[in-house]
Homo-oligomer: A and B are copies of this chain.
Amino acid sequence: MGALDEGHFCSELENGVKLGCIELSFEEEPETIAIEDAVKVLMQGLGEDVNREGLKKTPLRVAKALREGTRGYRQKAKDIVQGALFPESGLDNTVGHAGGAGGLVVVRDLDLFSYCESCMLPFQVKCHVGYVPSGQRVVGLSKLSRVADVFAKRLQEPQHLADEVCSALQHGIKPAGVAVVLQCLHIHFPKVESAFLDSNHQGWVELLVSSGSGVFENENANLWADFLNLLRFRGINVEKNRMRDSSDQHWCPSRSPSGAIAASKIESVNQGMVTAVASILRSLGEDPLRKELVGTPARFVKWLMNFQTTNLDMKLNGFVSDTVDPLKLNGDGCKEKKIHSELNLSFWSQCEHHLLPFYGVVHIGYLCTEGFNPVAKSLLQSIVCFYGFKLQVQERLTRQIAETISSLLGGDVIVVVEANHTCMISRGIEKFGSSTATIAVLGRFSTDPAARAKFLQSIPNTAVSGR
């Protein structure tokens, strides 16, 4: 492969904002060790064996992902902007609005992610930043993104994030004004109880927020119209009114009436797990007593406990045997069989390597004798949910769904799982658009390429729902 030996290379941000070189290795740092210990408590609270393969290194992986994902606590916006201001003529008052220098500069569609301060789950951000240069200087374009990222890589709330980015750029660049628009997407909190009944629990909580300073301070300033027009012909439609309304209430689903923890239920939350999450917050450099964070550990634990599997086993077993009798399904194998398919069954799961959600859709196909009633969609959806609500890997999820359906229906099964993995965006590789597909084939589907192709071609050409 022609690789040279791995040389030494000290990673750093531009303009002297070094991430630094330290004596202790990452694994040996006290913050890392503290997070690892806390993650072990969480996994034990889920009833997991922390020593099973697949989970062994999870505490270290979670510690790395969390510290990397909140590195903004250790960065200063000021250091990033300094040294990236370039003199540019045409900015004095006689020229007025002339030229990009003096005119509006907008960087659109910066993909970021942040962590929700209410529940600690990552949320996605499409960030649009604009500013009007003054003082005969402009800032390097990438710095708008880097500064936004400093504040995104913390526990955040969208409006607060927009305000911080705006304020940091205003102070760092000292332009005539700064405008920030964020389109934020928060995953829903699926509830185990409703997931079995409601297949539409997918979807996102969307929130659009904006912040302005200087010439953008007045929301009715004409420059806002220019800025929004420049977004519009990138296909970003923003109505100022909509933004203001939507920021009036908590956006995080864990704070909504249905998601909030009832006072009567708070006692049932495992206090050891709550304490562990609070210690993680401290290790990241946060104050768990900060007003906005007080309920966060309990909310995170509540989310996590969705993926405790023990109780669910009982429920599914009851559900399945009430609904379908496997013996009935196997009769009369001689008739011509047809492919029945159930597409786009949504699911939620929790990646056991990173304790981060992955979610998407499952497509199921099976061969069924002509004239036989297809299996109810609700049964298939419940099987999908059953295997989803665990610490999982997508490959295993796919296989388990296929094997379960095969055991019910007699063998000829194909299952395709399409998922977005939060761990693919909220860690180092930050691959925002990627999606993972896995496929499991049993019986005739494993030997008959034409049957596979027929089923795969019936899947509609759409991106994974929700994005």
Using a CB–CB distance below 8 Å, which chain A residues touch chain B? 1, 3-14, 17-22, 25-26, 53-54, 57, 61, 64, 67, 71-77, 79, 83, 86-88, 90, 96-111, 133, 138, 140-142, 145-146, 149-151, 164, 167-168, 222, 225-226, 229-230, 232-235, 285, 353, 393-400, 402-403, 416-417, 421, 423-424, 427-442, 445-446, 449, 452-453, 456-457, 459-463
Contacts and interface: CB of A to CB of B under 8 A. Distances in A.
Contacts of A400: 99
Contact of A421 (B141, B229, B456): B141
B99 A440 contact: yes
A54 B101 contact: no
Contacts of A151: 1
A428 to B, nearest CB: 7
Nearest to A395: B100
A244 to B, nearest CB: 21
Contacts of A395: 88, 99-101, 103, 105, 133, 138
B6 A76 contact: yes
B434 A109 contact: yes
Nearest to A441: B97
Nearest to A423: B142
A430 B440 CA distance: 34
A170 to B, nearest CB: 11
B440 A168 contact: no
B434 A107 contact: yes
A10 B184 CA distance: 30
Given A74-B4, A393-B88, A14 B436 contact: no
A183 to B, nearest CB: 13
B435 A222 contact: no
Contacts of A57: 83
Contact of A438 (B105, B145, B229, B393): B105
A97 B446 contact: yes
Given A98-B399, A436-B105, A6 B74 contact: yes
B8 A439 contact: no
Nearest to A462: B233
A14 B61 contact: yes
Contact of A441 (B9, B98, B106, B229): B98
B428 A14 contact: yes
B399 A90 contact: yes
A43 B101 CA distance: 24
A3 B76 contact: yes
Contacts of A87: 53-54
A164 B4 CA distance: 14
B396 A54 contact: no
A64 B84 CA distance: 15
Nearest to A168: B1
Given A90-B403, A105-B437, A233-B461, 14 more contacts: A1-B151, A3-B75, A11-B11, A97-B442, A97-B445, A99-B403, A101-B395, A107-B434, A109-B431, A110-B431, A142-B424, A142-B427, A234-B435, A235-B461
